[in-house]
Structure formats: C-alpha cells, structure tokens
Amino acid sequence: MTQQLSYLKETPSQTAGPYVHIGLAPGAAGFDIYKQELGWDIAGPNSEGERIRVEGLVIDGTGSPIKDVLLEVWQANSEGVYAHPEDGRSVEDGFRGWGRVISNFETGEWAFETIKPGRTQGRNVGTQAPHINLWIVARGINVGLNTRMYFEDEADANAEDPVLNIIEWERRRTTLIAKRTERDGQIVYRFDIKLQGEDETVFFDI
C-alpha cells in the first residue's frame, strides 16, 4: 500500500443552459432585481488608452449564430496591468478589466466597449502581445471555452507572442486576430468566433 494523496477533485462543469441570463444578466431575462448588474463597465471612466468597441458573433457548426451565448472578458489596462493583487502594480480608479456580454437574441451579435490593453508580462521572460481573454458559455457548451483575442494592428507584437507561437498551424493563428475598422469615428474590432468548421477558432486548455 502506498500513502494516499489528499487532493480534492475539481467540481465538474455543467452547461450554463439556456437561462444563464437569469443568473448573470437578469435584465436580459426580462426582470429587474439587483441594484446593479455586474460586468457592464469593463474599463471605467478614468482609464488611459484607446477607447475601442469589440463586436462579433459566435457561430456554431451549422454556420448559424448562437443567440444565447454569454462571454466574459478579462484584460489588462493600457499599461498591461491586470486589476489583481498578484500583478503587483496598480490600475486606474474604476478599471476592473472584467466584463460580461450576451448576444442579441435576434441576431446573435454581441459587442462591448473597453480600452485597448497593453502588452502584458510573459510567463517567464519577455512580453505577451496585447490581448483580451475570453470565456464563452452557452447551452450546449459543457465546459466554458477559453480563447484570446489579439489585434490586427499589433503585427510585430503578435509575431513575438509566446501563445500565438505555440499554435503549430500558422493558418489557425489568424482565427485569434480581430480586424480593425473605424465606424462613425469609433474604433471597432470585429472578432467572430467559430466553434466548428472551416477556420474553427483556437480554444485553449488553460
């Protein structure tokens, strides 16, 4: 007999289901309950950096937009600092760097406004290209999907990014790079996420 390890097992994931809005965005489910819903203001009013809008679709294997998806956003500020004690540096007052957004029930389009993040520390050395971490849950998704959105206009940083570079297939790296456009004076990044099929988005086991 060997000794027993005493680690616990992580609680298994279950789908967020079709009614995820009740718990995480009750206003979208059709009722008003909390004094404030969480996650609608990612960057706050005082943050430095370029104000941007990010929008897209999450598309299923039939090519249809998913209309009941919820995404969570986690990002650094324009200096590459995460609003978390372990980052060790401070962020602007009101910058949380976290948010949640749901798709439009009719069209599947989702969008959020934030600031463009800066380069963040690499795991051991160097830096990571500016990116937004995304976590995607919906009916039919058994374990939330992790991916990252990078920026088209950061080609040099992207070329050096340690995470993009571990993706063996260069063709697949492009699925993580949002397209930059300008509309009515606003900077808009387009980031469609494909769960299956041609140009399936890269998802990570983090």
Partner 1 sequence: MLKPGEFYQRDREWHPPALTRDYKTSVSRSPQYSLISLQNSVSEITGPVFGHNDIDPLDNDLIHNYAKSGESAIGERIIVHGRVLDENGRPVPNTLVEAWQANAGGRYRHWKDTYLAPIDPNFGGCGRTLTDENGYYYFRTVKPGAYPWRNWVNNWRPSHVHLSIFGSGFAQRLITQCYFEGDPLIAKCPIVNTIPDKAAQGQLIAALDMNATIPLDTIAYKFDIVLRGRRSTLFENRLEGN
- On whether the CB atoms of residues 161 and 40 are closer than 8 A, the answer is no
45: tokens are 């009013």
Least separation, in Å, of the C-beta of 152 and partner 1?
19
Least separation, in Å, of the C-beta of 185 and partner 1?
30
* 86 Cβ neighbours under 8 A, 6+ residues apart: none
- On whether the CB atoms of residues 70 and 102 are closer than 8 A, the answer is yes
137: tokens are 């849950």
172/180 with CB nearer partner 1: 172
Least separation, in Å, of the C-beta of 78 and partner 1?
15
139/188 with CB nearer partner 1: 139
Least separation, in Å, of the C-beta of 156 and partner 1?
17
Q: Could you give the CA distance from residue 197 to residue 204 in angstroms, rounded to a whole number?
A: 17
74/191 with CB nearer partner 1: 74
173/189 with CB nearer partner 1: 173
